[in-house]
Amino acid sequence: MAEVVVKGGPKKAGKPDMTPMVDLGFLLITFFIYTTTFSKPNIMGFATPKKDDKPPEEQEQVDVKVSNTITILLGEDDRVFWYQVPLKEVTAEDLNETDYSADGIRKAILTKKAGAITPENWTVIIKPTDDATWKNAVDILDEMAITESDKKAVVDLQKVEKEAYYTKIGKPMPEE
C-alpha cells in the first residue's frame, strides 16, 4: 500500500519520498474520525402551552392558589429572588433573596412544595428580569429538574414586580 521510494542520485542519496506517508496519515485520520463516537447533546424537555386564539376574556381561567405556587425572579449578577404572595400585593419586602445553591433556591422550592395544599398542582413561575443571563435561566431550569417541579412557566415580569425588584436592589426603574 505505502511504498517508500528512495530517489537516487549522488546529490539526493538517502532522502526518501514522503508522499506515501502523507497518504497513510490521512487514512489514519479518516479511520479515527469514523470510529469516534460523538457526544450527544443533553436536552431538557420543556413543554409549552398551545396557542389560544381567543381574546383573553374568553379564554379558560384557572384558579391558581398562592400556596401551590412559588414565583422566582432572576436578577442581575446571579441574584435570585422568590416570593409566595398574590401578584397584586408584591412589595420589595416580599422578595426573598437567595442563591442557586442546595441551601438556597432549592431549599426554598422544596420547603414551599412540601407545604402546598395540593402538591400535584405545584407550579413554579420563573420570571427573568432584563438583567438576567442565559446561565441564570439554565441554572433555574436545572433546579426544576432536581426538585421534580414539572409544572413550570417562564413569563414576563409585571409592573408591580419590576417596581419591587428595582426597589429591592436599590436601583431606579428604567424607563420603558
| Residue 77 sits in the same domain as residue 3 | no
Q: Show the cell assigned to 6.
A: 528512495
For a pLDDT cut of 70, what percent of the chain falls above it? Answer: 82
Tell me whether residue 48 is in a domain. no
Q: In this predicted model, which residue has the larger pLDDT, 61 or 14?
A: 14
Q: Domain with 114 in it: what CATH number?
A: 3.30.420
- Give the tens place of pLDDT for each residue, 105-154: 999 999 999 998 888 888 999 999 998 999 999 999 999 999 998 888 88
Contact yes or no for 68/118 (Cβ under 8 A) = yes
| Residue 7 sits in the same domain as residue 76 | no
| Residue 33 sits in the same domain as residue 98 | no
| Residue 82 sits in the same domain as residue 26 | no
| Sequence-distant (≥ 6) Cβ neighbours of residue 2 within 8 angstroms | 20, 21, 23, 24
Tell me whether residue 176 is in a domain. no
| Residue 148 sits in the same domain as residue 79 | yes
Tell me whether residue 156 is in a domain. yes
Is the pLDDT assigned to residue 82 strictly greater than 90? yes
* Torsional sign, CA 17, 18, 19, 21: positive
Q: Coil, strand, or helix at residue 152?
A: strand
| Residue 107 sits in the same domain as residue 25 | no
| Residue 18 sits in the same domain as residue 93 | no
| Residue 14 sits in the same domain as residue 92 | no
Q: Of 46-60, 90-104, 106-120, which gets the smallest average pLDDT?
A: 46-60
Contact yes or no for 164/95 (Cβ under 8 A) = yes
| Sequence-distant (≥ 6) Cβ neighbours of residue 116 within 8 angstroms | 67, 68, 122
Alpha-helix residue ranges (DSSP H) falling in 10-133: 19-35, 105-114
Count of the separate structural domains present in the chain: 2
Q: Domain of 158? A: 64-169
Is the pLDDT assigned to residue 9 strictly greater than 60? no
| Residue 138 sits in the same domain as residue 89 | yes
Q: Does the model's pTM come out above 0.75? A: no
Residue matched to cell numbers 428604567: 174
| Residue 71 sits in the same domain as residue 144 | yes
What is the reported pLDDT for 167? 92
Tell me whether residue 54 is in a domain. no
Is the pLDDT assigned to residue 102 strictly greater than 70? yes
| Residue 73 sits in the same domain as residue 144 | yes
The CA–CA distances, whole Å, from 37 to 33, 40, 44, 50 equal 9, 9, 22, 37
Question: In DSSP terms, which residues pair with 6 in a beta bridge?
Answer: 16
Tell me whether residue 82 is in a domain. yes
Task: pLDDT band for 36, please (50, 70, 90 cuts).
Answer: confident
Q: Residues 150-173: what's their mean pLDDT? A: 89
Tell me whether residue 49 is in a domain. no
